[in-house]
Amino acid sequence: MFDHRRTARYNNSSIGEVMTRSSPTKPNGAAHVHGPGAHASSKAPPKDDTCGPDEHARRARTANLSEEQLERAAALFRAAGDVSRLKLLSRLCDGEWCVTELADAAGVGLSTVSQQLRLLRAERIVARRRAGKHIFYSLADAHVIDLIQSAIEHAGEPHTHERASDTTDSHEEEP
């Protein structure tokens, strides 16, 4: 007997419909499925949507990434991920700025900008130099410049869900 109290909902993303599947099975062991196509022939084998190892080319890694590298990269993205800090970084893409100039350009207090720059410096995203009573900040290196410019450029592109060269999901097959 089928127990309607234990049903799970899932999204059949290939066609965008919500289906339900019960945890218990029918007496013959088949899962009880509701939704479009649920009354199709029960003799058809279930479709396996996973990729097999022979379906893709092997990718050679030139270098193994350490956990430390990945943690530091994640910390970099967290630090740069705040809008106000990203505005500072965008300004620094143009070259070196004095802290006072950055505060004036952002329309915030000197202490606010200093705190943001301190965090960015701790993550080695920005570098600083002192010249008398002035402290100047710049992006740490060409990698950071490229990363910030690429992120901002990418954000300005039209939003699409597909790459131009790929019009179907890699796990979907055409009928």
Whether 44 maps to a domain, the answer reads: no
Tell me the average pLDDT across 100-124. Answer: 97
Q: What rounded mean pLDDT belongs to the chain?
A: 77
The confidence score (pLDDT) of residue 5 equals 45
Number of domains in the chain: 2
Residues 126 and 151: beta-carbon distance below 8 Å? no
Whether 55 maps to a domain, the answer reads: no
Confidence of residue 115 (pLDDT cuts 50, 70, 90): very high
The confidence score (pLDDT) of residue 71 equals 95
The percent of residues in the chain predicted with pLDDT above 70, rounded, is: 62
Q: How far apart are CA 140 and CA 76, in angstroms?
A: 12
The confidence score (pLDDT) of residue 128 equals 97
Whether 174 maps to a domain, the answer reads: no
**Residue the block writes with tokens 């992120």:** 151
Burial 28-39 (b: 16+ CB within 10 A, else e): eeeebeeeeeee
Instruction: Please indicate, yes or no, whether residues 80 and 22 belong to a single structural domain of this protein.
Output: no
Nearest to 169 by CA among 57, 15, 18: 15
Whether 89 maps to a domain, the answer reads: yes
| Long-range contacts of the stretch 147-152 (C-beta < 8 A, 24+) | 147/80, 148/80, 148/86, 148/89, 148/90, 148/92, 148/93, 149/93, 151/80, 151/86, 152/86, 152/90
Helix axis angle, 83-92 to 67-80, nearest 10°: 90
Helices and strands per DSSP (H, E), number in the chain: 5, 6
Is residue 142 scored above 80 in pLDDT? yes
Token duo for residue 62: 């030139």
Domain encompassing residue 100: 67-155
**Residue the block writes with tokens 């479709």:** 47
Instruction: Please indicate, yes or no, whether residues 20 and 73 belong to a single structural domain of this protein.
Output: no
Q: What is the pTM of this model?
A: 0.59
Residues 47 and 59: beta-carbon distance below 8 Å? no
